[in-house]
């Protein structure tokens, strides 16, 4: 077999096609692939050679790196394709953050508008490989959108558990549109995650939350692709928003493997950014991760409104092994960062803006030096959360300084002139 599943808690090993998502001891599983035959330089050439190749797997920004993702997937992959997201430089955003060498990896450019597609192409491929009769997840909205889309493509029924009344409109719409059975649970995300795990156990449905190790293998490619775009010159920092900590875990695994394989020669430091009202991991970091923390989560950034992160231990590992940090930003800071990102023509959903707000804060605290090469990850598209946009621009009183209030007029040229004249003065 090319891949083993290994329990991070007790070390037990399971075959690649074992459908259990957790070890019987309760520990989370991690995938270990046989190391590729190629050395770092040959792998870099292999990946580069696949750019521009029309083969389906090579068109995907996930499967292009398949030796490090799921070498045995073969002809069974379910791909849109996904990935191939841009690494942007935008002066207004860099200036606002106070970091001249700031780049933005925009994962909102994925097919369903978030990085979750990278995990889901692998998760649903695995569901097909093991013959799952249905797939399920709990979600703050993006995972469920991706699950619904990839499930539809594979022809596998999808079941999603989302917190009633707390999912951004774009995301809920996607789950309905792609045909997932959508359960609006009276409770928060943490309650949804508990419930879906019980349901998956009882009903024999394949669980595709980020505790599923196959998801993380796909999400590693955010890092692999950005390193590739930087010609394998590792940046000094990678900054990302953190909720359930699946992505934080995936980033650490990607970096450690990339270094071990000789793709890069040094590790960037990871900065995980939480919303202040949903920041158990930031609290844990301040305490030297002495204990696992949980909170009752509250934030405008509904994607990361999570009080009991499932990938806590592997998140801690990422922070420790990359000499990383965890910080938190207020909702006001998130909204300001988002307004700057949006007005630069880039756009993102609120949770994504936490990364840029966090980078700015770490710069202000002098933790990130002025000349650092920094990559911030925008995790979701601006249209995911139209409600937050309308509230900010149209409804908040007093108007935030960056609010772009629309003006209602009569259908009359003079009214247009009046508005333009007023603005010209
Ligand atoms: N950004 C966005 C846009 C997200 O949707 C999420 C997570 C995160 C950041 C945080 O990533 O959980 O791996 O630390 N969304 C999950 C969901 C929880 O259900 O869509 P994480």
Question: Residue ranges per domain, the chain?
Answer: 87-111+213-389, 390-424
Instruction: Classify residue 84 as exposed, middle or buried by CB count within 10 Å of its CB (0-12, 13-18, 19+).
Output: middle
Provide the pLDDT for residue 401: 93
Q: Ligand 1 centre and the CA of 232: distance in Å? A: 26
In the predicted structure, residue 1 carries a pLDDT above the cut 60:
no
- Report the distance separating Cα 397 and Cα 403, nearest Å: 10
- Best mutation site among 303, 356, 377, 381 for ligand 1 pocket (most ligand atoms within 8 Å of CB): 303
List pLDDT tens digits, range 294-319: 999 999 999 999 999 999 999 999 99
Q: Which numbered atom of ligand 1 lies nearest the CA of 138?
A: 19
Residue 75 — very low, low, confident or very high, per pLDDT cuts 50/70/90? confident
List pLDDT tens digits, range 16-32: 999 999 999 999 999 99
In the predicted structure, residue 193 carries a pLDDT above the cut 70:
yes
Q: Ligand 1 centre and the CA of 413: distance in Å? A: 46
Binding pocket residue ranges, ligand 1, CB within 6 Å: 114, 116, 139-143, 210, 241-248, 303-304, 349, 351-352, 379-380
Average pLDDT, the chain: 97
Q: Which numbered atom of ligand 1 lies nearest the CA of 243?
A: 14
C-alpha distances out from residue 347 to 54, 243, 354, 383, 395, Å: 30, 20, 13, 8, 19
Q: By the 8 A CB rule, do 334 and 357 touch?
A: yes
Q: Which numbered atom of ligand 1 lies nearest the CA of 146?
A: 20
List pLDDT tens digits, range 384-407: 999 999 999 999 999 999 999 999
Q: Ligand 1 centre and the CA of 241: distance in Å? A: 8
Residue 424 — very low, low, confident or very high, per pLDDT cuts 50/70/90? low
Q: Ligand 1 centre and the CA of 133: distance in Å? A: 26
Q: How far apart are the first and last CA of the chain?
A: 72
User: Which residue's CA is minimally distant from atom 6 of ligand 1?
Assistant: 303
Q: At what angle do helices 213-229 and 116-129 cross, to 10 degrees?
A: 130
- Best mutation site among 105, 114, 171, 243 for ligand 1 pocket (most ligand atoms within 8 Å of CB): 243
Residue 74 — very low, low, confident or very high, per pLDDT cuts 50/70/90? confident
- Best mutation site among 117, 142, 191 for ligand 1 pocket (most ligand atoms within 8 Å of CB): 142
Residue 52 — very low, low, confident or very high, per pLDDT cuts 50/70/90? confident
At 57, which helix (H) or strand (E)? helix 56-59
User: Which residue's CA is minimally distant from atom 15 of ligand 1?
Assistant: 303
Provide the pLDDT for residue 2: 86
The proportion of the chain whose per-residue pLDDT surpasses 70, expressed as a percent, equals 99
List pLDDT tens digits, range 130-185: 999 999 999 999 999 999 999 999 999 999 999 999 999 999 999 999 999 999 99
C-alpha distances out from residue 150 to 17, 123, 183, 244, 419, Å: 20, 9, 18, 21, 47
- How many CB atoms are located within 10 Å of the residue 25 CB? 10
DSSP string for residues in 326-390 = EEEE-HHHHHHHHHHHHHTT----HHHHHHHHHHHHHHHTTSS-TT--EEEEE-B-GGG-HHHHH
Q: Does domain 87-111+213-389 have CATH number 3.40.50.300?
A: no
Provide the pLDDT for residue 301: 98
List pLDDT tens digits, range 325-368: 999 999 999 999 999 999 999 999 999 999 999 999 999 999 99
The proportion of the chain whose per-residue pLDDT surpasses 90, expressed as a percent, equals 97
Q: What's the average model confidence in pLDDT over 277-302? A: 98
Q: What's the average model confidence in pLDDT over 363-378? A: 98
Q: Which numbered atom of ligand 1 lies nearest the CA of 384?
A: 3
Q: Which numbered atom of ligand 1 lies nearest the CA of 247?
A: 13
pTM listed for this prediction: 0.97
List pLDDT tens digits, range 204-263: 899 999 999 999 999 999 999 999 999 999 999 999 999 999 999 999 999 999 999 999
- Report the distance separating Cα 308 and Cα 293, nearest Å: 7
């Amino acid at each position: 077999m090319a891949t083993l599943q290994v329990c991070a808690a007790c070390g037990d090993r399971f075959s690649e096609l074992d459908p259990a998502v957790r070890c019987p001891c309760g520990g989370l599983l991690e995938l270990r692939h046989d190391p590729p035959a190629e050395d770092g330089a040959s792998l870099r050439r292999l990946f580069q050679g696949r750019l521009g190749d029309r083969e389906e797997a090579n068109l995907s920004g996930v499967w292009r790196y398949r030796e490090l993702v799921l070498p045995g997937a073969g002809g069974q992959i379910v791909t849109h394709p996904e990935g191939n997201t841009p690494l942007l430089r935008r002066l207004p955003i860099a200036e606002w953050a106070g970091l001249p060498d700031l780049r933005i990896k925009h994962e909102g450019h994925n097919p369903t508008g978030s990085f979750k597609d990278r995990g889901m192409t692998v998760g649903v491929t695995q569901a097909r490989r093991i013959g799952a009769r249905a797939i399920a997840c709990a979600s703050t909205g993006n995972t469920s959108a991706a699950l619904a889309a990839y499930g539809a493509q594979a022809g596998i029924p999808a079941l999603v558990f989302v917190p009633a009344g707390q999912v951004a409109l774009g995301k809920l719409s996607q789950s309905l549109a792609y045909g997932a059975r959508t359960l609006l649970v009276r409770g928060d995300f943490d309650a949804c995650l508990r419930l879906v795990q019980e349901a998956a156990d009882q009903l024999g449905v394949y669980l595709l939350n980020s505790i599923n190790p196959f998801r993380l293998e796909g999400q590693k490619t955010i890092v692999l692709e950005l390193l590739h775009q930087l010609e394998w010159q590792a940046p000094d920092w990678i900054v990302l928003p953190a909720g359930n900590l699946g992505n934080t875990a995936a980033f650490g695994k990607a970096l450690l493997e990339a270094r071990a394989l000789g793709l890069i020669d040094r590790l960037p430091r990871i900065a995980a950014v939480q919303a202040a009202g949903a920041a158990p991991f930031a609290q844990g970091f301040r305490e030297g991760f002495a204990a696992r923390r949980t909170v009752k989560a509250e934030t405008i950034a509904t994607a990361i409104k999570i009080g009991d992160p499932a990938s806590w231990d592997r998140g801690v590992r990422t922070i420790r092994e990359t000499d990383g940090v965890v910080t938190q930003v207020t909702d006001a800071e998130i909204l300001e960062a988002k307004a700057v990102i949006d007005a630069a023509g880039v756009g993102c959903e609120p949770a994504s803006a936490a990364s840029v707000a966090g980078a700015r804060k770490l710069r202000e605290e002098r933790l990130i030096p002025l000349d650092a090469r920094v990559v911030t990850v925008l995790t979701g598209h601006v249209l995911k959360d139209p409600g937050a946009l309308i509230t900010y621009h149209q409804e908040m009183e007093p108007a935030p300084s960056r609010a772009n209030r629309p003006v209602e007029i009569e259908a009359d040229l003079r009214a247009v002139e009046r508005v333009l004249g007023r603005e010209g003065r």
